[in-house]
Amino acid sequence: MMCVVFYNTRVFSVWRFLNFSNDNKDDTYHSLDSIPDYDMLFIHFMLIQFLSIILIHLFSFLFVIGTLRISIFAFYI
């Protein structure tokens, strides 16, 4: 439960940074320098996690294509 609360607070802080429509509000970050360190760490963690998921799916897709090519080649021999 604590992980969910921590995750939701970090997502909300990232949303505050990305919410450019409310420039007059105090809770919106106006520049990268105004983001606290823990929020910046969370943003980097989410980017790394997103990129690693993309790489895992890409390599698994290439592995499946390679396996299919080998099985088709073996079928014709």
Model pTM score = 0.39
Q: CB burial class (10 A; 0-12, 13-18, 19+) of residue 14?
A: middle
* Distance, C-alpha 50 to centroid of its chain: 3
Most distant CA pair in the chain, distance: 70
Q: What is the pLDDT of residue 6?
A: 47
The pLDDT profile of the chain, 77 residues, written as one tens digit per residue, is 444 444 555 555 565 555 555 555 555 555 556 666 666 677 777 778 778 888 888 888 888 877 777 666 666 65
Domain coordinates of the chain in residue numbers?
42-77
- Between helix 2-18 and helix 37-76 the angle, nearest 10°, is 100
